[in-house]
Structures are given as C-alpha cells and as structure tokens.
Amino acid sequence: MSDVTQLLQAAATGHPRAAAELLPLVYDELRRLAAHRLAGERKGHTLQPTALVHEAWLKIAGNDERDWNGRQHFFAAAAEAMRRILVDRARRRLAAKRGAGEVCLDADELDIPAPAPDDQLLTVNEVLEKFALLDPRKAELVKLRYFVGMTFEEAAEALGIAVPTAKQWWAYARAWLRVEMAGTNEAPSSNIQAPSRHAGQ
Amino acid sequence: MTPDPQREAALFQAAAQLTGPARATFLDGACHGNPALRQRLEALLAAHEQSEGILAETVPAAVPTIRLNLPDAPDEAVGTTLGRYKLL
C-alpha cells in the first residue's frame, strides 16, 4: 500500500506521471478486494462498486483518510478503474453472445452489478469519452455516478464540489450525453436508441 | 460538437431554471441572431426534461437489490454506508 500512498501524494502535488501510475495499482486493489469479499464465507452477496471503492480508500489511506487532495486523486483513479472493469466485461459478454468463441470471465467481476445493459453501457461510455474532451470535470462526475453508482453527496465529496453544483453539472452532462446518443441535434425521442440508426432525421 | 462548452453549460443552466414564457424570453435574448444555438439549447432542454431513458435518476436504483447473507459481518461494518444503503 505504500506505493499507492506515495503516488497519491505525488499526484496531489501535481507530479505529472503519478496519476497515470496510480491507475493500475488502484485497479488491482479493487479487483483484489472484490475477490476477497466474494471468497468463502461471503457467498450469496453481490457488491456495489461504491462499497468497493470506499473500502479500498479506507484500506489505502489508513491514517491519512482526511487528506483531501490524495482522496480526490484516489477517487478519480477508482472511477476510471471501475469504468474499465465494467466496459471490458460488457465487451466480452457481448462478444460471447455473438458467438465469438469461448469467453473467460473472472469470477470476481461477475458479482459487480452493471448499471445498465451491456450495449447501453458501451454506448454511454463511447459518448462520455467525447464529452470528457470538452469538460473533463463533468465527465468525472458522470463516471462516479454511472460506473461507481455514487450518490450526489458522495460524488460531490469525491470531487471537492458542493452538492448543488454536482446536481447542476449532472443535469447538463446528462442532457449533453442524451442528445449525442440520439445522434442528431434534435430532441431525443422517448425511446432511446443507439446512435446513427436514424440517418438523416 | 459544442463550440463553447462553458458558455453552453451556463446558458443551459439558466434556461433550465425557467419555464414557459420566461424561458422563451431568455432564449430569445441569449440566442438572438444565432438559430443554431437556440436549436442546440432546446435539444438539451428537451433531453433534460425526459423523465426516463438513459442516465435517468432511477438508474442506480435499478441495480438489483442486494441480498446480504453476512452473519459474520464485522462490527466495524455497522454504520458504514454502501452507496444508498446503510448497514444497521
């Protein structure tokens, strides 16, 4: 854990590569926790990603839990890690459905509930990547809420913003993503469909 | 794509808090001479007002209810929150 703590401190002081190096360690920690939680006596129980992320933070931060700078970097890395876990799993499951050969899914991933059906999750992810180019902070909020399942209060704290601000950011981000997913610059129809299915509308 | 995301976000936030004629008047002023901006804001506002669909507020609640069989849960877990759930 000292590696992660050092990286968090480095990231907090603006060290350029620290945040990138943090991600695989956080990713591994989340997966380790997920596997540990599901082993043996914990049978019959599924995990909310939020719980995993909070638990990983407590474990990593220890006495430094109140270090707000490090905390924000950790949650950003955790949200990104969770996004990758869920997106990778959705892609593999869809590939399996299309008969692309045998797919090996890790047991520890199966019990993290997805926020949406696989195809929808991948569509949101794709559109979110575009949005992140325009407004990375609001995209972070979407990651925390959509992939980690955080409430406004939790996400606001993770980002270091006020709850009303988080709600405003969410409203705009959600509208932006919905319009983008509808594939046109008109109001989305009430049945959300994958983009570009209605060419020319 | 959005040419000026910060301005668009600010106009959206302001318009979203208005309704009916007040909103229309606001958009008239903000989008004067810029019909593309108006169309864009109206699309965003319509998407915002959709109660259902992708990223609806109910999405986190649509996650299946967790059935926890944790007779051996450690005492320190009591009182911690898991997303929207609090361990009693």
| Each residue's pLDDT tens digit, A49-75 | 787 787 777 777 766 655 656 777 788
Task: List the single best residue of A192, A193, A201 to mutate versus B (max B Cβ within 10 A).
Answer: A192
Q: Identify whether the C-beta of residue A95 lies closer than 8 Å to the C-beta of residue A103.
A: yes
- Please tell me the distance from the alpha carbon of residue A101 to that of residue B1, in angstroms, as a whole number: 38
Query: Which residue carries 């703590």 as its tokens?
Result: A5
Tell me: pLDDT of B77 over 60: no
Residue B63 φ/ψ region, left for φ over 0, alpha for ψ in the -120 to 50 degree band, beta for the rest: beta
DSSP state of A144: I
Average pLDDT score, chain A: 77
pLDDT in tens, B11-21: 999 999 999 99
Flag if A151 and B50 touch (Cβ within 8 Å).
no
CA count, 13 A, side-chain hemisphere, A186: 9
Q: Identify whether the C-beta of residue A66 lies closer than 8 Å to the C-beta of residue A11.
A: no
For residue B70, the distance in angstroms to the closest alpha carbon of chain A comes to 7
Give the number of beta-carbon pairs within 8 Å between A and B: 112
Q: Identify whether the C-beta of residue B54 lies closer than 8 Å to the C-beta of residue A181.
A: yes
What's the pLDDT score for residue A88? 87
Using a CB-CB cut-off of 8 Å, the residues of chain B touching A174 are 47-48, 55
Q: Identify whether the C-beta of residue A103 lies closer than 8 Å to the C-beta of residue A92.
A: yes
- Please tell me the distance from the alpha carbon of residue A149 to that of residue A129, in angstroms, as a whole number: 18
Confidence of residue A47 (pLDDT cuts 50, 70, 90): low
Tell me: pLDDT of A194 over 80: no
pLDDT in tens, A132-178: 999 999 999 999 999 888 899 989 988 999 999 999 999 999 999 99
Confidence of residue A2 (pLDDT cuts 50, 70, 90): low
CA distances from B54 to A134, A150, A157, A198 (A): 20, 16, 24, 18
Using a CB-CB cut-off of 8 Å, the residues of chain B touching A43 are 69
What's the pLDDT score for residue A85? 81
Termini Cα distance of chain A: 53
Of the candidates A62, A53, A55, the residue with the CA atom closest to the CA atom of residue A27: A53
Of the candidates A59, A122, A112, the residue with the CA atom closest to the CA atom of residue A90: A122
What's the pLDDT score for residue A196? 46
Flag if B47 and A182 touch (Cβ within 8 Å).
yes
Tell me: pLDDT of A5 over 50: yes
Query: Domain residues of chain B, as ranges?
Result: 5-49
Query: Domain residues of chain A, as ranges?
Result: 2-182
Q: What is the mean pLDDT of residues B55-73?
A: 46
What's the pLDDT score for residue A65? 59
Q: Chain B contact for A193, CB < 8 A?
A: no
Task: List the single best residue of B55, B66, B81, B84 to mutate versus A (max A Cβ within 10 A).
Answer: B55
B85, β-bridge pairs: B82
What's the pLDDT score for residue A130? 96
Termini Cα distance of chain B: 47
Using a CB-CB cut-off of 8 Å, the residues of chain B touching A172 are 9, 12-13, 44, 48
For residue A51, the distance in angstroms to the closest alpha carbon of chain B comes to 5
What's the pLDDT score for residue B27? 96
What's the pLDDT score for residue B55? 85
The partner residue sitting opposite B55, judged by closest CB among A43, A47, A174, is A174
The partner residue sitting opposite A151, judged by closest CB among B12, B63, B84, is B84
